């Protein structure tokens, strides 16, 4: 490894196809480490309550303004394979924990930076990898020791968890209101179902109006108005039909011969067409449905006939809404009129069109399978709403995790400082070469409080020293108060995160770093 190998095998001496580029040994390692560190550096300034936003403009000029780690990384068009591995870290973090993506990538980058120093001191990468793995295992243990219980009824703590996740994401002004919505929503679902998964809570966006208009609705919201004002506004104990076929015939293709020579025949054709559509509506009526949600079109004549029959109907629903409705009401999605029967219908206690966040929408509630709640996030412009949506999405994730796992840890760098301290102690017990790697791991975790301080305009070194002192005096909950610039008990200050977010961030960061450290050769095929 270190010291061996030439960077590139000259053409002719290679066993690979012409044009293949080969990089070996230290050069390969340094290239990969540099790429990994660059990804972390790119999002470093977005971490924490005073993190800045990024404006991302894609090749067709669409703009996204965000503070969200995963969104930034996904929008950046990154090519380098090692850099892509770091982005993978963020993706895993997002799907497993729903928050902490920036944290995971920053820790990953710092682990690589520390490893680079050790490699320069001639420590073998596999020893570093081994030390990192040992430290990661220890970190898990320590985290569960410093974690504290979250009681499902402790709404104050749950709200603090939601607020911590939403901090820095353009939600400052409405953070309290949104965290209240999230905790209520999760509570409602959990009360009805016993558990709460992220998918049980639908987040709807509404552009226009102010962010204070955001609200929570018990049920599924469909952002549409009923087809015809003659239809009932509200249906109780509704038998719901979900149709994935159009209630219309194909446009009659009028033959020139007929249309020109015989106008009555056209009349006759149209009448026939109406008759056939009437037959479709009759089938719907015969099934016993009083509410129809159609994924395809419903034409004007059919719409009037449905209204005459007193049926509430919506057309052109999104597939995702149809699936959600199927889950909630227990209805089958019917794709042919031939098989339609009353067995296909589902049940909703109430289907109602009403004004929500200043706009008329349809709410389907008290369904056969309860436990679906919607949060409507509104804001003045598309950019604002989209960023709020990402904040609420993080909030829902963390509250669901806290509900499921019941454990939380202090934020604001407190957990990382506590871990760093304890892992250093553990390292000195291990001794030998791995100790160097374990100590590097401990040092790498301090990148979080340092970055939080830096982004808040504080001196990172002074802050770290103060934090270490506070922890030395047994204050293991002490993290950074970015406004006061002093260590503060984070649990008391309400800066708390689910345990899962931290364990996942540390383990995915370690895995990525270890994977990158074990690579000693890059063989890149020529681009076709």
Query: For residue 77, what are the contacts with CB-CB under 8 A and spacing of at least 6?
Result: none
Instruction: Spell out the residues 6+ positions from residue 497 whose beta carbon is closer than 8 angstroms to its own.
Output: 99, 100, 161, 164, 165, 398, 408, 409, 410, 411, 415
Is 103 a binding residue for ligand ADP by CB under 6 A? The answer is yes
β-strands 346-356, 201-207 pairing: unpaired
CA distance 348 to 100: 38
**Residue selected from 36, 131, 168, 219 as contacting ligand ADP according to rule CB under 6 A:** 168
Q: 46, 68, 71, 329: which one is catalytic?
A: 68
- The angle subtended at Cα 356 by Cα 352 and Cα 359, nearest 5°, is 100
Q: For residues 310 and 290, what is the distance between their CA atoms, to the nearest angstrom?
A: 7
Nearest to 353 by CA among 445, 245, 232, 272: 232
Shortest distance in whole angstroms from residue 243 CB to ligand ADP: 42
Residues 78-137 that bind Mg ion (CB under 5 A): 99
**Nearest residue relative to ligand ADP (C-beta):** 411
> Does the footprint of ligand ADP cover residue 48 (CB under 6 A)?
yes
Options 36, 100, 125, 346; binder of ligand ADP; rule CB under 6 A:
100
412 is an interface residue for ligand ADP by CB under 6 A: yes
The verdict on whether 101 is a catalytic residue reads yes
Q: Which position among 29, 32, 64, 69 is part of the footprint of ligand ADP (CB under 6 A)? A: 69
- Nearer to Mg ion by Cβ, of 99 and 353: the residue is 99
Q: Does 420 bind ligand ADP (CB under 6 A)?
A: no
Q: Alpha-carbon distance 350 to 7, whole Å?
A: 70
Binder of residue 51, out of ligand ADP, Mg ion, none (CB less than 5 to 8 A by kind): ligand ADP
**Which distant-in-sequence residues (6+ apart) come within 8 Å of 448 by Cβ?**
47, 103, 106, 107, 413, 416
Please identify which of the residues 66, 71, 102, 167 carries the catalytic annotation.
102
Count of residues interacting with ligand ADP (CB under 6 A): 22
Minimum gap (Å) between residue 195 Cβ and ligand ADP: 24
Contact string (CB under 6 A) for ligand ADP, positions 429-458, x = contact: -------------------x---x------
Contact (CB, 8 A) for 433 and 519: no
Q: In terms of CB distance, is 99 or 163 closer to Mg ion?
A: 99
The least distance separating ligand ADP from the CB of residue 481, rounded to whole angstroms, comes to 6
HSE (side-chain half, CA atoms, 13 Å) at 455:
24
Q: In this complex, which beta carbon is closest to ligand ADP, that of residue 334 or of residue 495? A: 495
Q: Does 387 bind ligand ADP (CB under 6 A)?
A: no
47 lies in the binding site for ligand ADP (CB under 6 A): yes
Within 325-354, the residues that bind ligand ADP by CB under 6 A are none
Of 14-22, 46-54, 214-222, 305-313, the window that binds ligand ADP (rule: CB under 6 A) is 46-54
Q: Does 516 bind ligand ADP (CB under 6 A)?
A: no
Residue partners of 17: CB distance under 8 A and separation at least 6? 525, 526
Tell me how far apart the alpha carbons of residues 342 and 287 are, in angstroms, rounded to a whole number: 5
Inter-residue contact 295 to 319 (CB < 8 Å): yes
Q: Which is nearer to ligand ADP, 181 or 480 (CB)?
A: 480
Least Å from the CB of residue 437 to ligand ADP: 24
Among the listed ranges 97-105, 207-215, 266-274, 462-470, the one in contact with ligand ADP (CB under 6 A) is 97-105
Q: How many whole angstroms from its chain centre is CA 388?
A: 12
Residues 7, 27: Cα–Cα separation, whole Å = 6
Element (H, E) at 106: helix 101-120
Structure tokens belonging to residue 135? 């430290």
Contacts of 263 (CB under 8 A, 6+ apart): none
CB of 248 to Mg ion, least distance (A): 47
CB burial of residue 237 (10 Å; 0-12, 13-18, 19+): exposed
Tell me which stretch binds ligand ADP (CB under 6 A): 27-35, 100-108, 344-352, 424-432: 100-108
Catalytic residue IDs: 68, 101-102, 394
Would you tell me which residues interact with Mg ion (CB under 5 A)?
Answer: 99
Would you tell me which residues interact with ligand ADP (CB under 6 A)?
Answer: 46-49, 51, 69, 99-103, 164, 167-168, 411-412, 448, 452, 480, 482, 495, 497
């Amino acid at each position: 490894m270190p010291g061996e190998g030439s960077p590139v095998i000259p053409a002719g001496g290679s066993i690979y196809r012409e044009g293949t580029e080969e990089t070996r040994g230290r050069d390969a390692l340094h290239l990969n480490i540099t790429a990994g560190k660059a990804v972390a550096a790119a999002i470093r300034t977005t971490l924490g309550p005073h993190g800045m936003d990024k404006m991302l403009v894609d090749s067709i000029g669409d703009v996204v303004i965000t503070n969200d780690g995963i969104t930034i990384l996904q929008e950046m068009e990154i090519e380098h394979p090692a850099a892509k591995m770091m982005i993978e870290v963020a993706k895993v973090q997002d799907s497993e924990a729903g928050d902490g993506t920036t944290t995971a990538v920053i820790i990953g980058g710092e682990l690589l930076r520390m490893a680079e120093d050790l490699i320069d001191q001639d420590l073998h990468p596999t020893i570093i990898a081994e030390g990192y793995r040992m430290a990661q295992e220890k970190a898990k243990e320590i985290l569960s020791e410093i974690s504290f219980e979250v009681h499902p009824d402790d709404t104050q703590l749950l709200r603090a968890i939601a607020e911590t996740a939403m901090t820095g994401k353009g939600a400052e002004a409405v953070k309290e209101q949104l965290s209240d919505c999230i905790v209520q929503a999760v509570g409602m679902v959990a009360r009805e179902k016993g558990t709460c998964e992220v998918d049980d809570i639908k987040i709807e966006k509404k552009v226009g109006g102010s962010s204070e208009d955001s609200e929570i609705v018990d049920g599924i919201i469909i952002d549409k108005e009923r087809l015809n004002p003659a239809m009932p506004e509200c249906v109780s104990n509704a038998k719901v039909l979900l149709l994935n076929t159009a209630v219309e015939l194909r446009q009659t293709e009028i033959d020139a011969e007929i249309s020109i020579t015989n106008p009555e025949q056209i009349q006759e054709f149209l009448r026939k067409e109406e008759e056939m559509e009437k037959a479709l509506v009759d089938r719907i009526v015969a099934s016993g449905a009083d509410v129809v949600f159609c994924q395809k079109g419903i034409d004007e004549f059919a719409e009037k006939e449905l209204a005459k029959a007193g049926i509430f109907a919506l057309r052109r629903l999104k597939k995702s809404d149809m699936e959600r409705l199927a889950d909630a009401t227990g209805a089958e999605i019917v794709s042919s009129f031939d098989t339609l029967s009353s067995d296909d219908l589902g049940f909703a206690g109430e289907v109602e069109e009403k004004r929500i966040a200043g706009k008329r929408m349809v709410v389907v509630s008290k369904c056969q399978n309860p436990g679906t709640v919607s949060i409507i996030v509104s804001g003045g412009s598309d950019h604002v709403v989209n960023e709020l949506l990402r904040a609420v999405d993080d909030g829902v994730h963390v509250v669901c995790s806290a509900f499921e796992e019941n454990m939380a840890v202090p934020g604001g760098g407190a957990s990382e400082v506590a871990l760093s301290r304890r892992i250093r102690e553990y390292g000195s017990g291990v001794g030998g070469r791995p100790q160097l790697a374990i100590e590097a791991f401990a040092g790498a975790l301090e990148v979080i409080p340092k970055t939080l301080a830096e982004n808040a305009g504080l001196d990172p070194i002074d802050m770290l020293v103060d934090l270490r002192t506070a922890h030395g005096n047994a204050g293991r909950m002490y993290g950074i108060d970015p406004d006061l610039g002093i260590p503060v008990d984070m649990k008391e200050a309400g800066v708390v995160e689910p345990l899962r977010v931290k364990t996942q961030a540390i383990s995915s960061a370690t895995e990525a770093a270890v994977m990158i450290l074990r690579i000693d050769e890059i063989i890149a095929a020529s681009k076709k």
